[in-house]
Amino acid sequence: MGDKLNFVCLVDDQGVATKGSETTLEALTRNWETDIWAGSTLRISIEDTLYIRKVTLNTNQKLTFKALPDGVKPRKGDEWVLRRSELTPLEKANEHNATITADNDILARDITPSNPPCLFRIMICLDTAGVFSAMITKAGSEQQFKFNSASNLTADAGYIFDLLVHSGDSINFQHSAAATLKTLRVQEIIGALQ
């Protein structure tokens, strides 16, 4: 890398931009996993000015972030670095006020870990008592993991559960009774911070 980025930091990835917009940076030499950089910090030097933005999502070759000032956008050759914030959990699911059917997947699609092995911290509140389960699929085999098999969760009460998640796992959730899902939030906690 040249002399444009005159700061020192530990980086998880670095390179030069191919092009971009006020809210994106494209790096056509990359082949990232989708959303592996969500929550990371992007530092980019554009015309000798350093800009720092939080990455909101990414595709295999594009980062998306909060808008740069009007007219400022990454150009071919602008240098960038990415750093994961080890203290910020990644949002994996955030559902609110949804009707759910008994013993059916709550989420429209399974969630997977971005940085396995890790921990999914799950916050749940339902208006109906019942048994809450994680449905863990690995190598095509689905297993049910009941968080509370001995007694029902109390209606209208909040609960927090932790689930260890590994590479190749995909996760969904079910409840034993039809209900209104008041809140379901799932955050990925990096393994070293558990």
DSSP 135-181: EEEETTEEEEEES-SSSPBPTT-EEEEEEEE-TT-EEEEEESS-EEE
Q: Is the separation of the CB atoms in 118 and 189 below 8 Å? A: yes
Instruction: Tell whether 5 is covered by a domain.
Output: no
Does the global pTM surpass 0.95? Answer: no
Instruction: Tell whether 34 is covered by a domain.
Output: yes
CATH number, domain with residue 138: 2.60.120.1300
pLDDT for 11 equals 67
| Together in a domain, 98 and 175 | yes
User: Whole domain around residue 40: which residue ranges?
Assistant: 13-83
pLDDT for 85 equals 67
| Together in a domain, 102 and 184 | yes
| Together in a domain, 70 and 110 | no
Instruction: Please name the residue that has the structure tokens 């990644």.
Output: 90
pLDDT for 3 equals 43
pLDDT in tens, 96-130: 999 999 999 999 999 999 888 899 999 999 999 99
| Together in a domain, 73 and 94 | no
| Together in a domain, 142 and 50 | no
Residues in the chain, pLDDT under 70: 1-11, 85-87, 191-194
| Together in a domain, 67 and 110 | no
Of 83, 117, 143, the residue that ends a domain is: 83
Report the number of distinct structural domains present in the chain.
2
Of 62, 83, 104, the residue that ends a domain is: 83
pLDDT for 194 equals 55
